Amino acid sequence: DHSLRELTDSLRISKSSYEYQRASIARGDKYARVRRRIVEIFEAANRTRGYRYVTRRLRDGEDPVVVSEKVVRRLMREEGCRVVYLKRAKGYSSYAGEISDAPDNLVERRFHADAPNRLWLSDIAEFGLPCGKCYLSPVLDCFDGALVSWSISASPDAALASSSLEGACAALLPGEHPVCHTDRGCHYRWPGWIALCERNGLVRSMSKKGCSPDNAAMEGFFGRLKNEFFFHRDWRGVTMEEFAAMLDAYLRFYNEGRIKESLGWKSPMQYRRSLGLAA
């Protein structure tokens, strides 16, 4: 038999360290309950939200748990809660040359507005599916990131872009004339789009040719959308109609239920209601 001192000396650890670890094991994992909650929250978000979101959700509800973001990040790492983002594929481009005069870039990468319906962004995103390609045309409000309107189609044509803008214009109040900023895609250069903007008093603005940062807030939305909704899923066996319905449901959730730190951990619609801007 060997004494404790001999054992700790042979292992090159101090006796106090040994006693501390033994007591720690006897106490058990003080974060066991928190770990379970973290995994539940992470899985409920489809493994697409990080430690800040999880920390906030822990603090919500009838039985809140208050731990630091640093602890949550460590526990998520230990539990294998890694966000399932994949590398973004090359984006769809609707650029078809200089088919008409382009308006000036009035935004100049300042994607902020002090009220709803002051600054809108729009673009078209492509989703490559086993059953074919699907396209999304949203109109995004820079006041809070809310989606004013969107259209989904199997064809990236002018009708797709115009229908989402028409839906957005239908929600305008008298006297509201937003700046509508886009890239230089052909959909935003055709007479139908221009006439729609003029009829509703919209002020057109366009990015420079081939300069995606000029519409960075829209690109950022597409990145979050694809990371959280699209990339990590297996779409084999899903029809175009089923995909469109699932995408529409996610976009409604984005407006109503997806909380954001920049809005005080409210969704865009919750934020507007808190300000008395929505019923």
pLDDT digits (tens, 9 = 90+) for 87-110: 455 555 554 455 557 789 999 999
pLDDT band, very low/low/confident/very high, at 12 (cuts 50, 70, 90): confident
pLDDT digits (tens, 9 = 90+) for 50-101: 899 999 999 887 788 888 999 999 999 888 888 876 445 555 555 445 555 7
Q: Do residues 268 and 252 touch, judged by C-beta distance below 8 A? A: no
pLDDT digits (tens, 9 = 90+) for 198-243: 999 999 999 998 788 999 999 999 999 999 999 989 999 999 999 9
How many CB atoms are located within 10 Å of the residue 236 CB?
A: 8
Please enumerate in sequence order all residues whose Cβ is within 8 A of that of 38, keeping only pairs 6 or more positions apart, or say none.
Answer: 54, 58, 72, 75, 76, 79, 81
Closest CA to 130 of 4, 268, 242, 15: 242
Closest CA to 162 of 172, 171, 150: 150
Find the mean pLDDT for residues 40-48.
87
Q: Would you kindly state where each structural domain of the chain is located, as residue ranges?
A: 4-78, 119-274
Looking up tokens 């670890």 gives 21
Q: What is the pLDDT of residue 86?
A: 47
Homologous superfamily, domain 119-274: Ribonuclease H-like superfamily/Ribonuclease H (3.30.420.10)
pLDDT digits (tens, 9 = 90+) for 259-277: 999 999 999 999 999 999 9
pLDDT digits (tens, 9 = 90+) for 122-172: 999 999 999 999 999 999 999 999 999 999 999 999 999 999 999 999 999
Looking up tokens 């801007």 gives 277
Q: Is 27 exposed, middle or buried (0-12, 13-18, 19+ CB in 10 A)?
A: exposed
Q: Do residues 193 and 158 touch, judged by C-beta distance below 8 A? A: yes
